Amino acid sequence: MLIQITNFLLQVLVSIIAGACLLRCYLQWLAFNLGSGQNKSIGSYLFPLTSWIVLPLRRVIPSIGRFDTASFLAAYLLVLAKLMIQSLMIGVTPLAVSWLMFALFDLVDLTLSGLVGLVFASVLLSWISAGSQVQYLVSLLVEPLLAPIRRVIPNMGALDLSPLVLLLGLQVLQIVLNNLK
């Protein structure tokens, strides 16, 4: 029971911090101004969660164009550390290659889960609080993923099926990923 509780708490903690690192990486990819000097910007929430691991990595690992390699590597290292701790707690010591691969799979799974959450949030916020700042921010994050789908799917007037198609695609990717594990 203690191992299950510890695993659960470790999973939650790593998901939040690694997810914040991935969000930071994605926002840089979108060339989003994180507004470190503003009080109510998204950066004021992301920086305290991620700077302790991202900034030291950024000193040695530069960004590649718009891709924030330090944030991505930070998320990967957090997931890898979680897997190592979980394995050692249950007494299993797999090969280093296994840890590296499972960490990559877990990071991709975390990314897909985060995208599913963003799509759901975007749809719900468009119904409940259309025009709010939060809805605007979430729409900015989801729109680059929906735009290619909207170009392919015929326009149905007021009914936008692109979030549904994106959710189905993300779920299929998660099924494929889980079967590859």
Q: At 132, is the secondary structure helix, strand, or coil?
A: coil
Q: Is there a single domain that holds both residue 72 and residue 137?
A: no
pTM, two decimal places? 0.88
Q: Is there a single domain that holds both residue 109 and residue 177?
A: yes
Q: Is there a single domain that holds both residue 82 and residue 117?
A: no
Q: Is there a single domain that holds both residue 140 and residue 103?
A: yes
Most confident of the following: 24-38, 52-66, 123-137: 52-66
**Burial tier of 18 (Cβ tally within 10 Å: 0-12, 13-18, 19+):** buried
Average pLDDT for the chain: 89
Does 160 or 101 have the greater pLDDT score? 101
Does 127 or 117 have the greater pLDDT score? 117
Residue 8: which pLDDT band, with cuts at 50, 70 and 90? Answer: very high
- Examine the fold and report which residue of 38, 60, 93 is the final residue of a domain before the chain moves on: 93
- Where helices occur in 91-161 by DSSP H, the ranges are 96-128, 133-152
Q: Is there a single domain that holds both residue 72 and residue 127?
A: no
pLDDT number for residue 41? 74
Q: At 159, is the secondary structure helix, strand, or coil?
A: strand
Q: Go through the chain and tell me how many residues it has.
A: 181
Cα Rg of the chain, angstroms: 18
The count of structural domains within the chain is 2
Mean pLDDT of 18-41: 82
Q: Is there a single domain that holds both residue 106 and residue 72?
A: no
Q: Which domain range does residue 34 map to?
A: 1-93
Q: Is there a single domain that holds both residue 85 and residue 104?
A: no
Residue 159: which pLDDT band, with cuts at 50, 70 and 90? Answer: confident
Q: Is there a single domain that holds both residue 110 and residue 151?
A: yes
pLDDT number for residue 40? 64
Mean pLDDT of 15-37: 87
Q: Is there a single domain that holds both residue 1 and residue 88?
A: yes
pLDDT number for residue 80? 95
Task: List the single range of 2-11, 42-51, 67-76 with lowest mean pLDDT.
Answer: 42-51
pLDDT number for residue 88? 86
Supply 13's token pair. 């903690």
Q: Is there a single domain that holds both residue 7 and residue 88?
A: yes
Q: Is there a single domain that holds both residue 14 and residue 80?
A: yes
Mean pLDDT of 72-93: 91
Q: Is there a single domain that holds both residue 16 and residue 30?
A: yes
- Examine the fold and report which residue of 77, 93, 109 is the final residue of a domain before the chain moves on: 93
- Examine the fold and report which residue of 72, 93, 114 is the final residue of a domain before the chain moves on: 93
